[in-house]
A and B are shown apart, each in its own frame.
Chain A
Amino acid sequence: MSPKEELAVIGKPLPKVDAWEKVAGDTRFADDLFLPRMAYAKILRSCHPHALIKRIETSRARALPGVYAVITGADFPPVKFGIMPTSQDEEVLCTEKVRFVGDPVAAVAAVDEETAERATELIDVEYEVLPTIMSIEQALAQEKVRIHEYGDGPNIHKAVSLEFGDVEEAFRQAHLVREDVFYFEGNTHLPMEQHAAVARWGPDGKLTLWSSTQTPHYVHRAMAKVLGLPMSHVRVIATPNGGGFGGKSDPFSHEMVVARFAQLTGRPVKCTLTREEVFYCHRGRHPVLMWVKTGVTKTGEILGMHFRSWLDGGAYGSYGVASTYYTGVLQTSTYKVPVYKFEGMRVFTNKPPCGPKRGHGTPQPRYALECHLDKIAADLGLDPVELRRRQLVDEFSMTANHLTITTCGLGECIDKVVEASGWRDKFRKLPPGRGVGFAASAYITGAGLPIYWNKMPHSGVIVKIDRGGGVTVFCGSTDIGQGSDSVLAYVVAEVLGIAPEDIRVVTGDTDLTPVDLGSYSSRVTIMTGNAAKEAAEKLQGLLFDAAAKKLDVPPSALEARARRIFVRDDPDKGMSFPDAAQLAEAAYGTLAAAGSYTPPMRGGKFKGSGVGPTPAYSYSACVVEVAVDPETGEVRPVEIWIAHDVGRAINPLLVEGQVEGSIYMGLGEALMEEQVFRKGLHKIPSMLEYKSPTTLETPEIRTVLVETLDPEGPFGAKESGQGPLLPVIPAIANAVYDAVGVRVDEVPITPEKVLKGLDLRAQGKEPRVGPERVPAARFPEPIRVPLPGEDSTLEAQATIYRRAIHRREGPRS
């Protein structure tokens, strides 16, 4: 790989390729699309959390002037869908049963939104109300009430148990064994843009769907399945997203509703959800109850850990199987955990379905783990940073649960935030009411496996060069604001020696672009970046070959830079990029090349090993300073320092933006955001009453980027979109403890909980607020997996290491 200073585009704080359109208000989001003769759709949603549908009468709605069509579940084939192949449990419109307030029941297409909405009120639905399950405890206690008929037990969607080594034996060896219980309340993504979709059914019988989705490929598959169409007759176009954060990663009812309406009415049909409906689509952070037990030595080294999680999944499966595993797999990827046992369980409740939100299933256990370690440090009288610093995972190693670590800049991240924050002068030394807290984390750079089993690439890119030197990049990826379109342009511009503004990026269109699996799991930069690099390098080869002939030098003597191709040692000898393109096209024909990327297969060989593996882990360390008002219990973040190992910052400006966005989102989860319900209804489904912080509540953020040049990433890049959220929440909780001596073991840390803790302290009781107990364990017998050292994986580690060194130091990759 080229040394950093040789790169012309990568590593520079350039504007995003879509910046001009965005700031000029020229970006067309899904709701900005207006097609001739377009109709508008509205969905009637269940008003009961749990009920049988006895009868749906639509005649009054059909009779309303301006109504084009009214549909119910009977207007679709009896096919269920869902993002995970094992959880196909959703209907476009419910036919027999509704499972939460907001479950779609019927839909209207009309001349305008007002008419459509009025018509939904004229649909008469007769329900038989069923008992409601609104919590993990209720789901496990009420075995006779069943939300779904499938799963691993009554109201249990998924139950897993894995043991790596003998955890009880590790506890017997330990100097200290500590148990703690934590609860993380659910919260939602709150993207600025509400979901919207427009469908057009062409006279050729083919369907086009424009949708604010993060996963056009998965929507493409689901649409074809539900509508009974060949995939070749369905085109899904992902419109620019006004924020996703995981909330637009599932196929949704409204997408299929507009498609069916377009077919029935012969008109294009649009559906834009209200903010309230976005709260019902949800797929946000699971509420998770957690129990953790860890055995450590006298100096705090972890000997073994046992972690249990109970996830409140809401009414449907969504990504829940993956979420369940994610609450257990990444405990081992920051600190050495030589022996590890995980038991996890996701239950169904009559609430909007939970799914992936920034950090997918890992912020909850990270919060628990980092607070737990803080308590262990306090028990042992050790500095909590030192306790962690001395047992970080090794680079190019394998964890107890068979995860492969490549680069790890966590040590450097920790040192940077400790120094920048003045940790040593602050921890346990600030005046009462002021405190600092620390936490660290790791996150995946793309899931190692796709959502559905297949052996095809996860990302494909086609690059085409025009005779005028213009370059177009085609990729199925979806820019949800994180800058993935820009990353494609930067990578191709770097390889071809042109400027990002010379490149047009075409993304997220299943007719035009090769498949990319979508904007989730922090996979886009590494996967599309590697695919784009491969495609661009193929074209670079053709350009160099053609130019080399003309210049009479070997291709290896050439370099592409500043829109020229020239001899490296004699820069005046060369030609413009368009001239080289024309020579190459004359010699080799139309200039287009494809690149693709498939992550390395290196998970374990046990059931459940598919979740957790990734090409590379990003690392973050965070220090938060807070001021806690002892009279009001209010927690005010004063300053936040974060260091993030991003591998390589393709564009440091965008990486810092991702880090700051993660911190802002983490602040909200730590201090105020919660999905709460009353009488089976979402209590506060509005942006006014669902409290999320504003700029006024966001303190100064000091971001340090650490670069480890990971051999797996394009130019060494790892992820930055999700990982930096993880340490923020526990760092705040730990800072509150440092400030006022109160442990709030339940997120969000609201003022009344802090006051309750202070009251307990004043009464001489344990100043802790949080869950007291967990349900009786009803996990399956664990799958006992040998530790990596116990089989032949040492050899595998050596191979990884050799490959890494080769790629890091070898010839230009």
Chain B
Amino acid sequence: MMRLPPFRYLAPRSVAEAVRQLADHGPDAMVVAGGTDLYPNMKRRQFEPRVLVGLRGIRELAGIRGSARQGMVLAAGATLTQVSNHPEVLRHYPAVARAADLVSTPQLRNMGTIGGNVCVDTRCNYYNQSYAWRKAIGFCMKKDGDICLVAPGSDRCLAISSSDTAPVLWSLGASVRLVGPKGERVIPISALYQDDGIQYLTKAADEILTEIVLPPVDGLRATYWKLRRRGSFDFPVLGVGVALRMEGEVCREARIVLGAVASQPREAADAGRLLVGERLTPELIDRVAEAAAKPSKPLDNTDLVYHYRKRMTRVYVARALRELAGLPVGEFPLGMTARN
């Protein structure tokens, strides 16, 4: 079987101690929370940390608090199961609960954390392979090589952002709190990401993501639609997060954010603007969906044919909007059979 390489495991009791340990060990260290993404990647030697700073024992990183009126705070160490089952999250931020619920399997959601999902490594089927496989095909730039095997002309890595929760959190206008040796900062989650499969986070290596801050509900309605083959296990090959601020029948604010179409979640801003000041009619929804598909540029590096994934962007955006408009959406796709 595949084995973990040797490493040292540190178990800090506070964020401050964890930050210090990260700084002490520099590039040799990584943080680990649930480990559901990190440990398999270590077995395939995509990550080769000598030191792991374990976040599980840090009390500050646990829990979910707040209210619809003030907004809620999801501590980074809250498990995906806790997020998806939390009564307040379910009632006021059902899209967040659904996205968390659609991550992987029940067992992995019991271990995996919301912070881990927000920061989850980008994926590519040239990269998520064993060391021997990657060696056989010729290493790629994300690990051990210098070219991109998806598009050999590319000067950057094209691995895919694979977080289910990020598109929803972005669409809601959530923020994240980062704590590092120089103190802490709160940034919009949209500023956490950048379109580079290797440096997909703007977070410094010695910063720890401690909280996700959800804004007050205040008329926000959101949803998440996920394309994958099966109702469990699979990472998204397309995610659609949509949040609308409604005033009666009229949309005052709209954000449509696509997951798994680039190395970061990608906002379809032009499409969102079409909704502002309008009623959600089926005709408008079709136009918005058409516009939202434009920034979707999937490549041949994950499951399902890429032009199919492109084509599905329009369908999934339309269905997400129809769901929010209270229009019929038909049967949910197989990938969402286990949804909240």
Contact = CB atoms under 8 A, between A and B. Distances in A.
Interface of A: 31, 45, 47-48, 101, 113-114, 117, 121, 194, 272, 274-276, 627, 629, 631-634, 636, 672, 678-679, 681, 683-686, 688-689, 691, 693-694, 696-697, 750-752, 755
B330 A274 contact: no
B112 to A, nearest CB: 14
A121 B311 CA distance: 43
Contact of B136 (A47, A683, A755): A47
Contacts of B330: 629
A688 B315 CA distance: 25
Interface string B313-327: 001000000000000
B133 interface: yes
Nearest to A696: B231
Contact of A689 (B125, B232, B334): B125
Contacts of A633: 308
Nearest to A114: B3
B151 interface: no
Contacts of B130: 274, 276
B238 to A, nearest CB: 11
B250 interface: no
A101 B129 CA distance: 14
Contacts of A688: 233-234
B2 interface: yes
A693 B229 CA distance: 9
Contacts of B305: 750, 752
B15 to A, nearest CB: 32
Interface string B126-140: 001111110111000
B62 interface: no
A113 to B, nearest CB: 5
5 contacts: A113-B3, A627-B331, A679-B137, A681-B136, A697-B337
B230 to A, nearest CB: 5
A694 B1 contact: no
Given A629-B331, A693-B230, A751-B308, A101 B337 contact: no
B137 A697 contact: no
B276 to A, nearest CB: 26
A808 B287 CA distance: 71
Interface in B122-158: 125, 128-133, 135-137
Contacts of A686: 128-129
B133 A276 contact: yes
Contact of B303 (A45, A274, A634, A689): A689
Nearest to B149: A679
B186 interface: no
B232 A696 contact: yes
B308 A681 contact: no
B334 A636 contact: yes
Given A629-B330, A631-B315, 4 more contacts: A633-B308, A689-B128, A696-B231, A696-B337
Contacts of A117: 3
A693 B307 CA distance: 23
Nearest to B231: A696
The 8 lowest CB-CB distance pairs between A and B, nearest first, are A47-B136, A696-B231, A752-B308, A691-B229, A752-B305, A696-B337, A631-B315, A114-B3
A807 B308 CA distance: 59
Contacts of A689: 125, 128, 303
A274 B2 contact: yes
A697 B231 contact: yes
A629 B335 CA distance: 13
Nearest to B311: A755
Could you tell me the dominant secondary structure of chain B's interface residues? loop
B339 to A, nearest CB: 11
Interface of B: 1-3, 5-6, 125, 128-133, 135-137, 229-234, 303-305, 307-308, 311-312, 315, 330-331, 333-334, 337-338
A752 B334 contact: no
B91 to A, nearest CB: 25
B37 to A, nearest CB: 12
Contacts of A121: 131
Contacts of B232: 694, 696
Contacts of B311: 755
A752 B311 CA distance: 10
Contacts of B230: 672, 691, 693-694, 696-697
Contacts of A272: 1
Contact of A681 (B2, B137, B229, B331): B137
A755 B308 contact: yes
A697 B334 contact: yes
Nearest to A274: B2
A689 B133 CA distance: 14
A684 B137 CA distance: 13
Nearest to B337: A696
A97 B334 CA distance: 45
Nearest to B229: A691
Nearest to A690: B303
A679 B337 CA distance: 35
A276 B305 CA distance: 23
A276 B311 CA distance: 32
Contacts of A31: 1
B328 to A, nearest CB: 13
A274 B333 contact: no
A752 B137 contact: no
A632 B233 contact: no
A113 B1 contact: yes
Nearest to B5: A114
A693 B304 CA distance: 15
Contacts of A113: 1, 3
Nearest to B136: A47
Nearest to A49: B136
A694 B231 contact: yes
B229 A672 contact: yes
Contact of B334 (A274, A696, A755): A696
Given A672-B229, A696-B232, A636 B331 contact: yes
B333 A632 contact: yes
Contacts of B315: 631-632
Given A114-B3, A272-B1, A696 B338 contact: yes
Contacts of B233: 688, 694
A272 B3 CA distance: 12
A190 B219 CA distance: 48
B3 A47 contact: no
Contacts of A47: 132, 135-136
B133 A685 contact: yes
Nearest to A630: B330
A391 to B, nearest CB: 37
Contacts of B136: 47-48, 101, 681
Residue picked from B3, B128, B303, B311, most chain A C-beta under 10 Å: B3
Contacts of B125: 683-684, 689
Contacts of A751: 304, 308
A684 B133 CA distance: 10
A766 B104 CA distance: 39
A114 B1 CA distance: 10
Nearest to A112: B3
A632 B337 contact: no
Contacts of A634: 333-334
Contacts of B5: 114
B312 A274 contact: no
A684 B237 CA distance: 15
Nearest to A627: B331
B333 A629 contact: yes
A116 to B, nearest CB: 10
Nearest to B233: A688
Nearest to A115: B3
A693 B233 CA distance: 10
Contacts of B338: 696
Contacts of A672: 229-230
A481 B92 CA distance: 47
Contacts of B1: 31, 113, 194, 272, 274
Contacts of A627: 331
A752 B304 contact: yes
